[in-house]
A and B are shown apart, each in its own frame.
Chain A
Amino acid sequence: MKTRRHFLQSTAAIVALPVLDSLGFRRFASAAAPATPPKRLVFLSFGYGVTEPTWYPDIKKPGADYEIPKGLAPLTRHKKDMTVVQGLWNKYNNEGHWGSTMWLTGANRYAQPGQSFSNSISADQVAAAKLGLETRFASLQLDDSERAEASGHGPGLSMAWDISGKPVSGLSGPLAAYHRLFARDDTPIEKQRAMLVEKRSVLDTVLENAKTVQRGLSRADNAKVEEYFQSIRDIETRLTKEEQWIGVPPPKAPFGEPTAFNKGTDEIKLTYDIMLAAMQTDSTRVMTYRQPVASLLTSLGIKVFPHDMSHYHTTLGEKLDASQRRDIAQSELLAGFLDKLKATKEADGSTLFDHIALAYGSNIRTGHELSNCPTILTGRGAGLKLGHSIVAPKDTPLCNAWLTMLHGIGVHAERHGDSTGVLKEIVA
C-alpha cells in the first residue's frame, strides 16, 4: 500500500488527503499531492562492534577513491551512495558493553547528582517531535526478539529515550511491528468513538488514583510517580491521534502477515521489509532498530558466543572468522535494504532513498573500544556528502553527526547531546 494521508487540521474538521500512489494503490486526491515527498530518519544499531582491521576503510586515504574494505564488500554497489565516517565518539560513554544505550544521546550516565544512571533524549525522538505530527505513529522503535541483557545493546527498552531521558519501549521482533502497523480494526466508527471515550474514562480513573498516590510524596518520589502521569499523557496523545485517524483504515500491508520466520538473518531482513512498508504507507517517518547479533551468528551456523567473538584479538582464529562473517552478513542485509529503498518510488517519481537519512553503526568499535565508532551514513534526504570515506578530526562528538542529519531533514535543533556544532565534513 503506497497511500499516504496528509492531514490539514482545521478547528472543526480533519481532512485526509492521501497523496502517494506509486505502486498502483487507490488514489484519493491526487491534486493534493505535496510538491516533495516527506523526509525520513532511520537509525540502525548493533551490539558488539565490528572487526577493526577489515571493516574500516584505510584511515590514511580518505576521499571518494577509497578502497572498500572486506567487511563492507557487499555494499560495493552502493559505494557512491553512502559515506563511512571515522573519528566519531561519545566522549562520556565508558561502558564497553553498551552498543546502543547512548549511541543517539551522547549522554553522561553520571550527569545527575544522586543517580548512578541517567540518559537524555535520543536524536530520533528529537526528529519525531516534528516529523511525527503528520503520521499515524510519531516514531517506531523496532527491537530484536532477543533478551536485552545478552544483546550487547546495553540498558534501554529500545534505542529511543524520551525528552526526560527515560527509555521508550520498543516492539519486540518483526511480528509485533507488523501488527502494530497493519492490524485492521473492523469495528464500526461509532463504536470506535465510544471505545475512545471509554479509554479516556479509564485514563481519568487511574489519574484520579494517581493523585491519591502522589499526595504527600517527597520531591524525589514525586518525580518518579510523574513517570506514571507522563505515560498516561502519552496515551492521551496517542488517543488524540487515534481520534484523528478514525475512519481512516490502517494502510494495507504491502505483503501478508508473516507467519513464521527464522531468527537471525531472516528476522533482520523481515524487519527491514516492515520498515520499508512503514515508509511506503507513510505510517511513520522516524524509526530505530536495535538488531540482534547472537541469533544472527546462530543463523550463520556460527557457534561462537557474541561477547567472545568481539574479543577476537587474543586468539584470532574462529572468533575473528565469526566476527568477519558477521560484518559481511550485516553489510549484505544493509545492502539489500538500500536496494529496496532505491527501488521504491514515491508519487513524484523519486525514490524513498532520495528522502531518507539513515545512520548505521554502534557505540562500540570492537571489544570494549568506544572511540572511532563505526558509522555509515546514507540516503539523499539530508544533503549529506555521499560516496566518501570521511575522517573527522579525532574524537569528534557523534552528536555532531546526528545534529547535521537533523538539520538536513529540516529539524533545526540548536544542539544535541554533547554536540559542538554541525559536522561540516559530511555536508555535501
Chain B
Amino acid sequence: MKQTLNTIASLLLAATTALAADAPHPAMEPRHRSLFKDHCIGCHGPEKQKGKFRVDDLSFSITNIETAERWQKVLNQMNSGEMPPEDEKQVPNELKTDFLDNLSNTMVAARRALADRNGAIIVRRLNRREYGNSLRELLGVEINITELPADTGNGSFDTVGANLFMSGDQFEQYLGLGRAALDEAFEWQAAMGLEQKVRVEAEEAGKHVRQAYEDDLDGLERAKKWVALVDAAIDRPENAAVVAEMRKTAKTAKTEDAVRREWAKIKGAPAPEEFGFKTLENSADLALRKLGFGAKAGIGYGRPYREAYLNMPALDRGAYLTIGGGGEMLSYDCLTLQVPHPWKSIVGDYVLRVRLAATDKATPDRKFVEFGIDPRQGPVISTHQVTGTMDAPQTIEIPITLTRQHKESNRTLYIREKGALDHFLVTRRVVGAAKAKNGIGPEFAIWVDWIELERLPDSRKDKASGIAALGIPLDDRATPAPAEVRAALERFCFEAFRGVKPETGYLDRLSRLYDTRLQSGDKHSSALKRTLAVVLSSPQFLYLAEPAPDDKRRPLTGPELASRLSYFLWGAPPDATLRDLSARGELQKPEVLAEQTTRLLADARSKGFTRPFVHQWLALDRLDFFEFNREVFPSFDNSTKLAARQEVFETFEHILRHGTSVQDLLKCDYAVINPVLADYYGIAGVKGDVFQKVSLTQDSQRGGLLGMAAVLAMGGNGERTNPVERGAWVLRKLLNDPPPPAPANVPQIARLAGQALTTRERLQAHQEEAQCASCHRKIDPIGFGLENFDAAGQWRTQDTYQVKDDMGKPVKDASKTWTIEPNATLHKGPAFKSYSELRAIIAARGDAFAGGFSMALIEFALGRPIGFRDEALASEMIAHAKRNDYSMREFITALVASGEFHTK
C-alpha cells in the first residue's frame, strides 16, 4: 500500500506538470509531398488554381480550422475518386493507400487537437441516469426517466458536459418527473410497515385446462349429433335440388360444411342453437368448429397434447408449464400472479417465491424458467435454473420492487419456461420437432406448485437523505407552521444541492410558492410536493458547477472533489461519509482518497459506474440495433441474449472487484457466466442463479471479450457475421487504433453483387481501391480471424452464402458452402493461422489496450473529450497499474489521484 501511495504522490506531480505543455499540431508525413508534386500542383499550384484551389501552399502541419478544411477537401476529393481526374496520371495504388491512410488519421487527430480546450472541463448538467440516481438517493425511489433525452449518441460519453444540452421542454420534464418521484416517495412513506401477501396455487390455474378439454369433448358430442341430423335432412329427396345447387356454388374445399352452414334452407334440419351453439352470426360455424376437436387438424391438432397433459401426475397439487399450448392451455404458456387490485398501495419491495421442480423429462437446456411482468409483451427480467425434482421441489426467490407505475400498467407477474414464447416461429419449430418425435408435443419439463408474492414491510427503514432531511409530517393530518416548512425546505435543499446551503432569496421564493399552493386550496402534502419539485428542477441540483471567476484552472474544493468522485464511481451524489470528509478537508489527503475510492467501488452503487461505462465504452448498444433471426439461431433466446449482455458487465465487475488484471479482458482462463450462458457455451456443472467465475479448459474459445457471445453477436446483423464490423471494433476497443469514421462519398463496390462468393472473396475487393484499402487493410484481416464464430457467437467451421434475387428469394444453384479459413496477416503485423493465434497476438498488445481503456476512463471521469495532455496521464496510469499487475482498480486509483482529476 505504501508503495502505491508514493507512486500516486509522484503521479499527482507529473500530471500537474503536464498541464503546462502546449498541444502539438498533427501533421502529415513529409514523404507525401512527392505525391502533391507529381499529381496535384500542376493544376492546383502557383500557375493554375483549378477550382480556385491550390495545395502548394498547404501546410503539412494542421494548426487551424481553415487548414483542416482544405485538407478535408483533399481527402474528400480523393476518396470520391474525383481527383486526380480520370484523364490525368493516376497515383500508384500503394502510394495512394498510404497517403489516404495517413491523411484520414491525421484529420482525426487534427480535429481532436483543434477541439482541445487545454483540459478545461465544461460545467456538467447531471445526465439522465445521474439525475435518476440522484433522485433515488434523495427520495429513495426509482422512477421511469426514459422520457428525458438519453444524452448519448454524440460519439462521446454521456458525461461530457459540452454535449449535455438544456431546453424549455426538458425543464418542464424535470418538473413533471420531480413531482412523480415525490408522489412515489410520499406514498412509500405512507406504506411503511404495510404487510401484504398473496399466493396462487398452480392447480387452480391448471384446472381450466381440464375444464376446457371437457367442454371441447362435450361440444364435439353435441356437434356430432347436430351434424348427423343435418346430414340426414340433406339426404332427403325433397332437399336434393337445393343441396345440389349449394354444392355447385360452394366456394370452399369443404363442400359438405358449406352445405351444413345453410341448414336453414334445408327442410328438416335442426337449428344448431337447439344443441347449445349460440352465436350472434351463423351458429353453425361454432358447431362445425367444435367438430374439429375430433379431427386431426383444426382444433383437434392440440388434443393429444392436452390429453397427455391431463395424464400427468401431481395435477392435484400443481401445474406444468407448456410450450405452444395456445389459449386452451395455460395462457401464454405461463403461470401468472396478478397483484391484487384491492391492495391499498402496491409500492414496495417484494419477494416473489415460486415452488417448482424439473420433471424427469427435462433436458439440461430446459431446466430454466424466466420471470417477467406482463406475459404478453413484458421483457424477461430474470432467468432461473430449476434444480428441484418432483420428489424434492425447490423454492426460488426473486426480489422485485413495485412502483406506482405498476398500478396503471399490466400488473401480471409471470413465470414461464425459458424461450417458450419469444417468437412464434421458434415455438412452432419446437412443437413441430417434438410432434415428429412423439406424436404429441413438447415434453412437460417444469412443474410448479405455487407462486406467492410478499411485501417486505421494513425493507427501507433507513430513510433516504432528502426525506430524512425534511423532518416534518408528509401527510395531511396537521399543517406545520410556516417557519417549520421553511426550515424543512432549507434542509432539503442542502441535501439536494450536495451540501451547499440555499440562498435566502431563493428560500423566500420557495416558501411563497408553498403558501400560494396552500391558498389555492392544496393540502400541505400536495403543496410541499409541488414546491420540492421546483428544487429538483433548479440549477444547483441539476448542474455540477465549479466556479472559476478568472477563467484559470484551479484545484477543486473538497466538496467539488467529493461530487466528482461519487458521480464518477456511482453516478450518484456523495453520501454523508464523503461529504463529511470533504467538509473537513480530509478527502484531498492521498491515503483518505484512496481509501474512499476503494469503499465506493465496493459499494453496490458502483454499478452506476460499471454498467454505463462498459455499455458506452464497448458500444454495446449495437446489440439492440437488430433482431436476431431465431430460425437460424433458435437457442439465442431472450434469456440468453440478456445473459450474454450481462456477461460483459459481470466480467468487468469481477475483475474490478478482485483486483485482477485488465488484460484478462483480452484473454483469460475463466469466464464469468451464469447457468444459462454455461448451457449456451456448452460448459457443464454451473449451478446457482448468479454469475460466477468458471474455469475454462486450455482449448476453450471463451475467456476474454473476444470469446463473448455479446461481443461476437454485435459484429453481425442477427443473421450473418460482419468481419468489417468486428475488425473495426477490435481496432477501436482492444488495440486502441481506431479507424477513421466511415468516410463519405467513397464509391461502393458493386461488381461482385449476385455472385456466390465466400465472405473473404467478397471483402478481397476492398484491397483493389486505395480509398477502401487505406482502412480495410487493417480492419478486414482481424474480422477473418473471428469468422469461426457465427452471428450469435457460437463456434462453427463452415459457412454458406446463398444469393437472393431482387425479391429476396434464394436463387437456385447460386449458393456456396465453404470451410472457414481463419488465417490472415495483420497489416504490418504477424500472420496467424487460427482464432486462438489471433487472440494471442491481440493479448500480447496489452499496453495498447490499457491505453485505450485509460483514455476512455479519463473522458468518462472528467466529462470532457480527451486531448493531447491526456496521453501523458494515460501513460502514468498504465505505468502505475503495471506495477500492480495491471490491476483494473489501480487505473482508477491513479486517475483519481491525478492532477487532472483534482483540477477544475
Q: Which residues of A come within 8 Å of B, CB atoms?
A: 93-97, 108, 110-111, 113-117, 147-150, 155, 157, 166-169, 172, 194, 198, 201-202, 204-206, 208-210, 212-213, 215-221, 224-225, 227-228, 230-232, 234-235, 238, 303-305, 307-308, 311, 313-318, 320-322, 324, 366-371
Contacts and interface: CB of A to CB of B under 8 A. Distances in A.
B718 A305 contact: yes
Contacts of B165: 157, 166-167, 227
The bracket for how many chain B residues form the interface is 35 or more
B539 A210 contact: yes
Contacts of B156: 116
A212 B505 CA distance: 10
Interface stretch (B429-437, B449-457, B512-520, B829-837): B512-520
Interface string B733-767: 00000000111111011101110000000100100
Given A206-B538, A225-B543, A314 B750 contact: yes
B439 interface: no
A149 B114 CA distance: 26
B122 interface: yes
Contacts of A213: 539-540, 543, 545
Given A194-B520, A206-B537, 9 more contacts: A110-B114, A150-B621, A150-B625, A166-B167, A198-B513, A204-B509, A206-B171, A208-B506, A369-B748
Contacts of B549: 216-218
A94 B743 contact: yes
29 contacts: A94-B743, A96-B743, A113-B65, A147-B150, A147-B624, A155-B155, A168-B167, A201-B509, A201-B512, A201-B516, A202-B513, A205-B513, A205-B538, A208-B505, A209-B538, A209-B540, A212-B506, A219-B551, A220-B117, A221-B545, A225-B123, A232-B168, A303-B629, A305-B718, A316-B806, A321-B808, A322-B808, A324-B806, A367-B748
A96 B746 CA distance: 10
Contacts of B875: none
B744 A368 contact: yes
A308 B717 contact: yes
A116 B111 contact: yes
Nearest to A162: B167
Nearest to B174: A206
A218 B538 contact: no
Nearest to A366: B748
Interface string B112-123: 101111001011
A210 B69 CA distance: 38
Nearest to A176: B147
Contacts of B746: 368
A217 B548 contact: yes
A216 B806 CA distance: 64
B172 interface: yes
Contacts, number: 228
B327 interface: no
A155 B154 CA distance: 6
Nearest to B755: A315
A341 B742 CA distance: 39
A218 B551 contact: yes
B803 to A, nearest CB: 6
Interface in B167-187: 167-172, 175
Nearest to B175: A202
Contacts of B112: 116
B149 interface: yes
Contacts of A116: 111-112, 115, 156, 162, 865
Contact of B503 (A157, A212, A216, A235): A212
B153 A231 contact: no
A314 B753 contact: yes
B182 to A, nearest CB: 15
A177 B858 CA distance: 40
A354 B545 CA distance: 52
B144 interface: no
B239 interface: no
A97 B743 CA distance: 10
A201 B167 contact: no
B381 to A, nearest CB: 20
B567 to A, nearest CB: 16
Given A116-B112, A198-B516, A228 B753 contact: no
B702 interface: no
A369 B79 CA distance: 11
A224 B748 contact: no
Contacts of B72: 94
Given A169-B149, A198-B513, A313-B750, A231 B166 contact: yes
Contacts of B123: 217, 221, 224-225
Interface in B490-525: 502-503, 505-506, 509-510, 512-513, 516-517, 520
B76 interface: yes
Most buried by B among A202, A238, A308, A324: A202
B894 to A, nearest CB: 26
Contacts of B115: 110, 113-116
B149 A157 contact: yes
A234 B551 CA distance: 28
A303 B163 contact: no
Contact of B122 (A96, A157, A209, A224): A224
A321 B806 contact: yes
Nearest to A171: B169
Nearest to B551: A218
Nearest to B502: A209
A367 B80 CA distance: 13
B741 A95 contact: yes
Most buried by A among B510, B549, B741, B808: B808
B716 to A, nearest CB: 10
A172 B173 CA distance: 13
B506 A209 contact: yes
A115 B503 CA distance: 34
Interface in B45-85: 64-65, 68-69, 72, 76, 80
B486 interface: no
A148 B76 CA distance: 27
B360 to A, nearest CB: 39
B128 to A, nearest CB: 13
B167 A157 contact: yes
A317 B808 contact: yes
Nearest to A221: B123
A234 B513 contact: no
Given A114-B116, A167-B167, A305-B626, A368 B162 contact: no
Nearest to A98: B744
A291 B155 CA distance: 22
B258 interface: no
Contact of A201 (B116, B513, B547, B805): B513
A124 to B, nearest CB: 16
Nearest to B757: A315
Contact of A206 (B539, B547, B804): B539
B510 A205 contact: yes
A228 B543 contact: yes
Given A114-B117, A205-B534, A224-B123, A212 B540 contact: yes
A209 B501 CA distance: 11
Name the 5 nearest CB pairs between A and B, nearest first. A216-B547, A313-B748, A234-B168, A318-B808, A316-B753
B807 interface: yes
Most buried by B among A221, A235, A238: A221
A108 B116 CA distance: 17
A420 to B, nearest CB: 13
B172 A235 contact: yes
Contact of B153 (A115, A149, A227): A149
A213 B806 CA distance: 60
Interface string B604-648: 000000000000000001001111010000000000000000000
A303 B509 CA distance: 56
B161 interface: yes
Interface in B888-904: 904
